[in-house]
């Protein structure tokens, strides 16, 4: 994959950009309100995307960081939150996220949304991919094969937005179809990914914004937490050279941390600013440098 041969160069650029960050308080802007999908023509939203587009050097327009979201079929079983699908939190989460990366660093970021079919040949052009609503993802045999090839050839997948025992077992079964002979390895707080740029003292956990407003917990209530408690759990799947191919963020909803960043000041101060964005920076830098 020729795109992955450029990863080292992109890493160096990204690390230089991250070095410009001085404090988490400077990492975000306030205001703006919650952007619903029906407001996609919001002038401010369009201005941000146009600003990002104009910042790109035409000679290197394709050699920029891209946040790519994978599309998949869904299990509509009520146990797994049937209302959610691969596009959960879009487009607000994606657009807020890429604009923050652009706004507070000198790193060049592709504007707009990037929704990618797992089996498309274009998947090879996206070293970093993201899956939301992972607890209801259903992979076809073709998708499982394509995802295995992508990951073994240098790709990285961040898995997010699922809770409790049922959704964990469902995701586990789907990943075993991708890698029948590989087990997810649990990560503890001493793993380097939690300290790559921002130094976390405990495992990050971002609850869904709606549940936070209703009951103010650090996790989403209502799911079965019998086999595993409601604390955050992080797992990695490695290749034969111990390169992390997949990061699984169980009992977490990073997408809401990006989507609802300006809707609720307390949610922003508690989760978006100190956890959702800094941990994503850690994940990106770790993935691109290991």
pLDDT tens for each residue of 203-239? 999 999 999 989 888 999 999 999 999 999 999 999 9
pLDDT attached to residue 1: 42
Give the length of the chain: 290
User: What token pair was written down for 121?
Assistant: 């040949």
Q: Which residues contact 242 (CB under 8 A, 6 or more apart)?
A: none
The DSSP output letter for 184 is P
The span from the CA of 169 to the CA of 255, in Å, is 21
pLDDT attached to residue 83: 55
User: What token pair was written down for 116?
Assistant: 């990618």
pLDDT attached to residue 35: 34
pLDDT attached to residue 10: 47
How many angstroms separate the most distant Cα atoms in the chain? Answer: 54
The CATH number that domain 2-289 falls under is: 3.40.50.12140
The span from the CA of 60 to the CA of 66, in Å, is 13
Q: In a 10 Å sphere around its CB, with 0-12 CB exposed, 13-18 middle and 19+ buried, how is residue 159 labelled? A: buried
Task: Please name which of 128, 92, 115, 99 lies closest in space to residue 257, comparing C-alpha atoms.
Answer: 92
The span from the CA of 286 to the CA of 290, in Å, is 6
pLDDT lower than 50: segments of the chain: 1-14, 16-17, 19-39, 78-80
pLDDT attached to residue 40: 53
Instruction: Say what angle helices 43-55 and 92-104 make with each other, to 10 degrees.
Output: 50
Bridge partners, 137 (sequence order): 74
Report CA-CA distances (Å) from 270 to 3, 165, 213, 264, 274: 37, 26, 12, 10, 7
Task: Please name which of 138, 118, 133 lies closest in space to residue 255, comparing C-alpha atoms.
Answer: 133
Write out pLDDT tens, residues 237-246.
999 999 999 9
Query: Torsion over CA of 223, 229, 231 and 235, rounded to 10 degrees?
Result: -100
pLDDT attached to residue 126: 94
């Amino acid at each position: 994959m020729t795109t992955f041969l450029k990863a080292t160069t992109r890493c160096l650029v990204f690390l230089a950009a991250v070095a410009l960050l001085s404090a988490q308080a400077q990492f975000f802007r306030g205001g703006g309100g919650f952007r619903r999908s029906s407001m996609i023509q919001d002038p401010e939203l369009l201005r941000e995307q146009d600003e990002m587009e104009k910042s790109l050097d035409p000679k290197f327009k394709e050699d920029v960081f891209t946040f790519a979201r994978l599309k998949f079929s869904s299990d509509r079983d009520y146990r797994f939150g049937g209302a959610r699908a691969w596009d959960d939190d879009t487009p607000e989460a994606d657009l807020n996220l890429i604009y923050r990366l652009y706004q507070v660093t000198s790193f060049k970021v592709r504007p707009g949304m990037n929704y990618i079919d797992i089996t498309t040949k274009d998947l090879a052009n996206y070293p970093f991919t993201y899956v939301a609503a992972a607890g209801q993802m259903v992979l076809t045999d073709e998708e499982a094969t394509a995802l295995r090839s992508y990951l073994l050839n240098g790709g990285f997948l961040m898995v997010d937005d699922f809770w409790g025992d049922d959704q964990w077992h469902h995701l586990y079964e789907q990943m075993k179809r991708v890698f029948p002979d590989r087990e997810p390895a649990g990560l503890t707080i001493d793993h380097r990914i939690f300290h790559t740029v921002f130094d976390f003292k405990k495992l990050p956990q971002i609850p869904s914004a709606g549940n936070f407003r209703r009951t103010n917990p650090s996790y989403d209530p209502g799911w079965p937490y019998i086999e595993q408690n409601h604390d955050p759990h992080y797992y990695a799947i490695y290749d034969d050279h111990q390169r992390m191919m997949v990061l699984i963020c169980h009992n977490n909803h990073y997408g809401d941390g990006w989507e609802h960043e300006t809707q609720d000041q307390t949610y922003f101060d508690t989760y978006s600013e100190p956890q959702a964005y800094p941990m994503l920076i850690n994940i990106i830098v770790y993935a691109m440098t290991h």
